[in-house]
């Protein structure tokens, strides 16, 4: 059934690896400026937002102020907002943030997770495609066995020609 969620757990979680980038584009999850459709209710009810903060060098007070600022700014837009600091001695980057999320949530992952850079519009050719896909997941329109879906256009080598080519399989 559309808009179903169990135990108030977000159906979709958006995980943003963040340092200090501008995040205004996140408002597009509610309404794209060139469309009449407003998805605010569904996003507030079924989409969680988790920031994995990768900027080091912040003291405890600065972290708490930053956490409060992010939660206060984005809580009206999403079902839940959480900020977690990634303190990895070796590296604190996108990969370690996403891995930290998987480790943190391994036994309680939502139906769908979207991993994004904080500067997502620079990596994704169409924010509209991203927003539509998240909304489709919220409405139960995506297959449960979807697996991995890649949105970043600038890292996919489309010319490899791997469709039905056994040499491309891992």
- Dump pLDDT digits (tens) for 98-135: 888 999 999 999 989 999 999 998 888 888 989 999 99
CA distance 145 to 85: 31
Residues paired with residue 80 on neighbouring β-strands, in sequence order:
48
Distances (CA, A) of 19 to 74, 77, 97: 16, 20, 11
Confidence class of residue 1 from pLDDT cuts 50, 70 and 90? very low
Confidence class of residue 28 from pLDDT cuts 50, 70 and 90? very high
């Amino acid at each position: 059934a559309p808009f179903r969620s169990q135990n108030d757990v977000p159906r979709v979680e958006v995980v943003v690896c963040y340092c200090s980038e501008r995040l205004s584009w996140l408002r597009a999850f509610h309404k794209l400026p060139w469309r009449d459709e407003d998805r605010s209710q569904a996003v507030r009810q079924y989409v969680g937002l988790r920031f994995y903060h990768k900027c080091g060098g912040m003291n405890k007070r600065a972290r708490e102020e930053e956490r409060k600022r992010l939660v206060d700014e984005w809580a009206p837009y999403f079902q839940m907002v959480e900020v977690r600091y990634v303190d990895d001695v070796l590296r604190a980057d996108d990969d370690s943030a996403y891995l930290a999320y998987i480790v943190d949530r391994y036994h309680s992952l939502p139906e769908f997770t979207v991993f994004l850079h904080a500067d997502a519009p620079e990596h994704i050719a169409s924010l509209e495609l991203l927003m539509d896909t998240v909304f489709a997941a919220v409405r139960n329109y995506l297959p449960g066995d979807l697996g991995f879906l890649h949105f970043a256009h600038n890292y996919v080598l489309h010319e490899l020609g791997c469709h039905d080519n056994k040499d491309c399989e891992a």
